[in-house]
Amino acid sequence: MDNNKDNIWVGQMDLNHDEEFLDTLNQEFADDDIDYAALAVNLSGNRRDFLKLLGFGLGAATVAAGCDIPVKKAIPYVVKPEEIVPGVANYYASTFVNGGDYCSVLVKTREGRPIKIEGNDLSSITKGGTSARAQASVLSLYDTNRFTGPKLKDGASWIDTSWEDVDKKIKSALISASGIRVVTNTIMSPTTKKALSEFTDRFSSAKVVTYDPVSSSALLDANERNFGIRAIPNYRFDQAEVIVSFNADFLGTWISPVEYTKGYVKGRKIDDITKASMSRHIQVENHMSLTGSNADNRILVRPSEQGVAIAHLYNEITGGGMSTAGLNDRAKASLKKAASELKNAAGKSIVISASDNVNEQLMINAINQALGNYGNTLDMSTPSYQRQGNHSDLKSLVDDIKGGAVNCVIFFGANPVYDSPYGAALKEGLAKVKNKISLAISNDDTTDLCNIVAPMTHYLESWGDVEAKKGQLTLIQPTIAPLFDNRQAELSFLLWAGSDNVNENSEQPYYDYLKENWKNTNFKAQSEYGSFQGFWDNAVHDGVFSISGGSAPSFNSADIGSDITKPSSSELEISFYETVHMGNGQYAGNPWLMEMADPITRTVWGNYLAVPVNFDGVRTMVGFKNLKDGDIVELTIGDKKVSLPVIQQFGQMPGTVSLALGYGRQIAGNTGSNVGIDVNDSLTVGNTGVGYYNTNVSVSEKVGKEKDFSCVQYHHTIGVRGIDKETNTEVNADESALVTFDYFTGVKGFQGALTDRSVIYTSNVSELKENVEHLQERRKEAQHLNEQQIYKGFDHLYSLGHHWGMHVDLNACIGCGACTVACMAENNVPVVGKHEVSIHHEMTWLRIDRYYYGDVENPSTIYQPMMCQHCDNAPCENVCPVNATNHSAEGLNQMAYNRCIGTRYCANNCPFKVRRFNWLDYTKADLWPINQPRLQEESTPFMADNLTRMVLNPDVTVRSRGVIEKCSFCVQRIQEGKLTAKTEGRTLKDRDVRPACQTACPADAITFGDLNNMDGDLNAKLGSPLNYIALEEINVRPSVTYTMKVNNRDKSFDA
């Protein structure tokens, strides 16, 4: 056999040289004798084959039909846009603007979807800080309640129409109108103003009426009288050594809180304890505001005493002779002390007031002038334009509408029916106005009374510019094509005015208009760039552009009238305040903000009447009228009577109660409608502005109990002290109040249960040395204890590679909550609704614990951002039966959601209680809808709508029900940072990885980094003797370090 030379044979036949076999061997195709042609018709089978086929067929069909395979759409780019790499985020500079609220931002987009807001470090105003409102604004883009296109009112419902139709109707209405009003909130955009001026030029009867939901009109009027410009000074809190604020919540809501926070914390951080110095911050108020909670001293005055309180300080500083009758004696003495401190810090102090009374603001200006603060801490050369509302304009608008002088009104992003004190009058008057046009993004209380909606685009879909401060410009650029058939508001005005400067057929008409305007103005004001394109590209890239120069107008003294707030002799007064998250209702439709815990009351989903609380001297914290948290009372203001729940508020002045603005909107989408109580109709309207208080008020006894009392923190205090009635000595009132039942033994608390908790450490700046020594001693003791163990641990492993850690400066943290919203946005944290929060099912990965300490009547406050501490000896890890939570080599405590079976053992064993369990199907991951909680009885659960789900961060798993989740130190950002460093071929810097909370923080309180990177930002912070680790003695070895909270309280104020 030729082909078998190598003695390779196949089978016996080959070996035996079988003839037949050898024949077939060389054939390419086997001769199988099958008549293939006949086969097709002769398909025969026996019974067994039939049954087999039947069985298989049935089985396969059952399997195929039984599994509901979800249809998932993934459409690839046909032509891939140049700048988009799937999986890699793009950042675009833009500006968050909502009326006077401003924040220069970077918008993070993934695959063309904006999903997160970051601060813009290049901004000279916000300097990379953000607010909760800015953070949450991305969710409002995907609001399911948005108008999807122009609409006409037909009876009670809106019917769709086309832009041609709407434009035609509006144009004819405008031409025939004899009185046109454009109602807006503050407009900071020069180009919008230009467009509006084209509009008002075209229609001579048109007037623009600007007001602010929370009015600063008097402040602007006073500045106009003193300086000739209607603007707000540039407050430089970083330069201020003494700050006196009359009810101005400048860290939370007043004018430009992010900017002020940046400056304020510079005077609060302590870098060197041997030379510790802090600014002194004195807040004059009646309710505990966010700013007041951060103050060193609070001077309690009733809302109606604000005027005379300012007058008293005015008299003390300038020697003026204003009447101060009616001011309480304690406040008088304290203000005198404040005056002497101010005088000592002349030129380095700031006095501000939120008053909307022009005479009071004139006194404030006079005080600042007398102290020589203008030109130093108050700069009028770069004034702020962040509030422009004019109360008298609003008032005349209401009169004009009521008088029938207006027959066409355009609401440009304003909602005066809800958020002005004239809501009822406007509602009544609007019925007489023939053409009512709204440009609102989604339906609101005012828009619902209109007959035409020409919806504008969301800021993330728009072009625009902002001049928040003189010469400080920022650009707004779209980060997504308009989701719906909406049109930029400015373009609408230009088109209705028939402007020649806009080309309707252009692809982006307003973009051209904006560019053209910049070419003619800002481009000419600079000399750096020769070509406009270069200038423009740079401005769009950075998002910011500034023009320097300009001098401050000089101060002209003005006569101060005697019309100031009159102290009332009423037994009870109520003050109304703006919250960080709701504004005056502008943000009510945003679920993230609705579910963000109020920094002070820690309540969500509604406004709770804050009532004063005091220690009864035995063992109870007694609320006003014996009211307890969650009791329902009847509140009567004037002739308005409402039922609402109360919350005991420490630091609330006796004889006053407070209620937040911004709730109780009738029409605010699924989230905001009918949540809480609307109080805008109870404001006191003065001659020059709005008084955010009312003296004609009474509160009933308890009439019921709130069903869903949603407060995420039940215990508010950590060792407040009060006077014991029997012994007349100072005792730990807090601990006495912990006793629910004493078995008739008269036990009054266990001394030390709250004061000695190694969770927070506080000190007065004057006692810093002793307290730091005490802290060091306790740390040493804890560390000594922790060394006494037989297990050697894994420190030798953690010293290799990265070891992630965090530092939280409690002296910088003001509690504003921007980080908590940023965390929700970054990590797809679900919103669970009021009922779920009321049974403590909130899902926040990062919370800000708020404790009161010190004097029970007028306590100090500490904020402690609390997130997973990423313990290196984590108690949660060893108890998980299935290894679902475990430790990474880089010191991260990580969750494998897929592995989690939900025993919740880890959550029990977490000393910090930061683990969150998916009690129900909060993210619509289940097949059946019964366990998806509704936020507000809406038809589709929140998170179930595909539009809402566009906001999800694709880098973070959406968790299903039944699993535990918690802070991951933004592990997705760590990974991204590591990859960035790797591709750039360098070692990782701490700045490469910044978790969402750190980037959001306006106070730079959070520093994240690598504990093994000795030159990094984190290690630079770890040397301070103020540092401590929460619960260090239990040896769980957290990776998060806090600092001792230092206050600059002057106890002599409290006497």
Partner 1 sequence: MSAVVSPIRKPLVTGNKTYHQITEDLISPTEKAPTKAWLIGFILAVSVATYGVFCIIWTIWVGIGSWNLNRTINWSWDITNFVWWIGIGHAGTLISAILLLFRQKWRTGVNRAAEAMTIFAVICAALFPIIHMGRVWLAFFIMPYPNTRGPLWPNFNSPLLWDVFAISTYFTVSLLFWYTGLVPDFATVRDRAKGFRKKIYNTLSFGWTGSAKHWQRWESLSLILAGISTPLVLSVHTIVSFDFATSVIPGWHTTIFPPYFVAGAIFSGFAMVLTLMIITRKLLKLEDYITIEHIESMNKVILLTGTIVGVAYLTELFISWYSGYVYEQFAFFNRALGPYWWSYFGMMFCNVIAPQFFWKKSWRRNVTLTFFLSIVVNIGMWFERFVIIGTTLARDYIPSSWSLYSPSWVEIGIYIGTMGIFFTLYLIFVRVAPVVAVAEIKHILKSGGNQYVGEGAAKAHHSSEH
> What is the contact surface with partner 1 in residues (CB under 8 A)?
713-715, 717-718, 738-743, 747, 750, 752-754, 756-757, 759, 836, 839-842, 847, 849-851, 864, 866, 875, 878-883, 899-905, 907-909, 911-913, 915-921, 928, 930-931, 933, 960-964, 1031, 1034, 1036
CB of 660 to partner 1, least distance (A): 21
Which is nearer to partner 1, 207 or 841 (by Cβ)? 841
Phi first, then psi, for residue 726 (nearest 5°) are -75, -50
Q: List CB contacts of 305: < 8 A, sequence separation 6 or more.
A: 326, 327, 328, 331, 565, 567
CB of 584 to partner 1, least distance (A): 29
Which is nearer to partner 1, 754 or 952 (by Cβ)? 754
Question: What is the C-alpha to C-alpha distance for residues 100 and 305, in angstroms, rounded to an integer?
Answer: 28
Q: List CB contacts of 110: < 8 A, sequence separation 6 or more.
A: 87, 89, 90, 953, 954, 955
Confirm if 351 and 364 have CB atoms less than 8 A apart. Answer: yes
Strand partners, 764: 1047
Which is nearer to partner 1, 262 or 716 (by Cβ)? 716
Amino acid, res. 521: T
CB of 967 to partner 1, least distance (A): 13
Which is nearer to partner 1, 246 or 853 (by Cβ)? 853
CB of 717 to partner 1, least distance (A): 8
Three-state helix/strand/coil letters over 169-190? HHHHHHHHCCCEEEEECCCCCH
Which is nearer to partner 1, 313 or 733 (by Cβ)? 733
CB of 813 to partner 1, least distance (A): 14
Which is nearer to partner 1, 479 or 736 (by Cβ)? 736
Fill in the DSSP letter of residue 45: -
Decide: residue 896, CB within 10 A, 0-12 exposed, 13-18 middle, 19+ buried.
Answer: middle
Strand partners, 476: 464
* Residue 487: both structure tokens together: 């049109």
Question: What is the C-alpha to C-alpha distance for residues 95 and 463, in angstroms, rounded to an integer?
Answer: 10
Which is nearer to partner 1, 766 or 960 (by Cβ)? 960
Phi first, then psi, for residue 1044 (nearest 5°) are -60, 135
Which H or E element spans position 879?
A: helix 875-879
CB of 835 to partner 1, least distance (A): 10
* Residue 1034: both structure tokens together: 């239990």
CB of 630 to partner 1, least distance (A): 11
Which is nearer to partner 1, 314 or 912 (by Cβ)? 912
Which is nearer to partner 1, 358 or 906 (by Cβ)? 906
Smallest Cα–Cα separation from 894: which of 956, 976, 801, 820? Answer: 956
Which is nearer to partner 1, 330 or 774 (by Cβ)? 774
Decide: residue 167, CB within 10 A, 0-12 exposed, 13-18 middle, 19+ buried.
Answer: middle
Which is nearer to partner 1, 547 or 738 (by Cβ)? 738
Which is nearer to partner 1, 858 or 885 (by Cβ)? 885
Burial 409-435 (b: 16+ CB within 10 A, else e): bbbbbbbbbbbbbbbebbbebbeebeb
CB of 778 to partner 1, least distance (A): 11
Question: What is the C-alpha to C-alpha distance for residues 278 and 268, in angstroms, rounded to an integer?
Answer: 5
Which is nearer to partner 1, 487 or 915 (by Cβ)? 915
Which is nearer to partner 1, 776 or 909 (by Cβ)? 909
CB of 996 to partner 1, least distance (A): 21
Question: What is the C-alpha to C-alpha distance for residues 901 and 495, in angstroms, rounded to an integer?
Answer: 59
Tell me how far CA of residue 885 lies from CA of 697, 780, 823, 891, 956, in angstroms: 54, 30, 20, 13, 16
Decide: residue 157, CB within 10 A, 0-12 exposed, 13-18 middle, 19+ buried.
Answer: exposed
Long-range contacts (CB closer than 8 Å, 24 or more residues apart) made by 368-375: 369/226, 369/555, 369/557, 370/317, 370/318, 371/317, 371/342, 371/343, 371/345, 371/346, 371/347, 372/346, 372/347, 373/346, 373/347, 373/348, 373/349, 374/233, 374/552, 374/555, 375/552
Fill in the DSSP letter of residue 531: S
User: Within 13 Å of residue 914, how many CA atoms lie on the same side as its CB?
Assistant: 25
Count H helices and E strands in the chain, helices first: 33, 43
Which is nearer to partner 1, 405 or 1031 (by Cβ)? 1031
Long-range contacts (CB closer than 8 Å, 24 or more residues apart) made by 163-168: 163/454, 163/485, 163/487, 166/452, 166/454, 167/495, 167/496
**Torsion over CA of 44, 48, 50 and 54, rounded to 10 degrees?**
-160
3-state secondary structure of 852: strand
Which is nearer to partner 1, 921 or 1010 (by Cβ)? 921
CB of 713 to partner 1, least distance (A): 5
Question: What is the C-alpha to C-alpha distance for residues 75 and 26, in angstroms, rounded to an integer?
Answer: 52
Q: List CB contacts of 2: < 8 A, sequence separation 6 or more.
A: none
CB of 721 to partner 1, least distance (A): 16
The angle formed by the CA atoms of residues 987, 993 and 996, to the nearest 5 degrees, is: 180
Q: List CB contacts of 146: < 8 A, sequence separation 6 or more.
A: 441, 442, 455, 458, 483, 484, 486
CB of 840 to partner 1, least distance (A): 3
Which is nearer to partner 1, 161 or 886 (by Cβ)? 886
Which is nearer to partner 1, 723 or 1034 (by Cβ)? 1034
3-state secondary structure of 1045: strand
CB of 919 to partner 1, least distance (A): 3
CB of 838 to partner 1, least distance (A): 10
